[in-house]
Copies of this chain bind each other. A is one copy, B any other.
């Protein structure tokens, strides 16, 4: 009932993760990271950068002396690398295994890269590497999966069953009483904000 509250207690926020990645990228790209560089890189104002750097410094993720360059601490650098790797694993999985369009994969990976646990990233890497490998079972999977129906798996042959409410019509092994495929597609068309 309060897992959801830990969202705000993650070690880095979405913004922070991207600031760290920006600093890391700029160090590689031009050898140093200055306030203006970061602002340009991220498309935010310089004053926004200044205040975020103060916050990152409080968290021990960067060092920054007034009017000087920004440096990642080892913790900050570790976080930047980890987020970067997470994004990469996600992107490959989404495009190569799930086969979603690159634009969608990029967007989704960017949104969740900093929220996915290390355990999940590591296992996702393992699965992705396996399914892309020359292992016979992986090859067979690719052939069979390509040929399997793209529609709701509820209608696929040979489902496992028994995941949702007991006794419920469990056709695809994942859906239970309701077809998840359909509920995922639920029309959430235009959500306007009235101010």
List the interface of chain A (C-beta within 8 A of B): 1-7, 10-12, 14-15, 18, 41-43, 58-61, 75, 78-79, 81-82, 84-86, 88-89, 92, 94, 97-101, 104-108, 110-112, 115-130, 132-138, 140-141, 143-145, 148, 150, 152-154, 156-160, 163, 172-175, 178, 180-181, 183-189, 191-195
Contact = CB atoms under 8 A, between A and B. Distances in A.
A134 B85 CA distance: 33
Give chain A's interface secondary structure class. Answer: helix
A98 B123 contact: yes
Q: How many copies does the complex hold?
A: 2
Given A1-B41, A137-B145, A173 B60 contact: no
A127 B82 contact: no
Contacts of A157: 133-135
Nearest to A111: B115
Contact of A156 (B59, B75, B129): B129
A184 B89 contact: yes
Contact of A130 (B10, B130, B143, B156): B156
A192 to B, nearest CB: 6
15 contacts: A5-B42, A6-B111, A58-B195, A59-B192, A81-B186, A86-B184, A88-B174, A98-B123, A100-B119, A115-B115, A121-B184, A133-B159, A134-B157, A135-B144, A137-B140
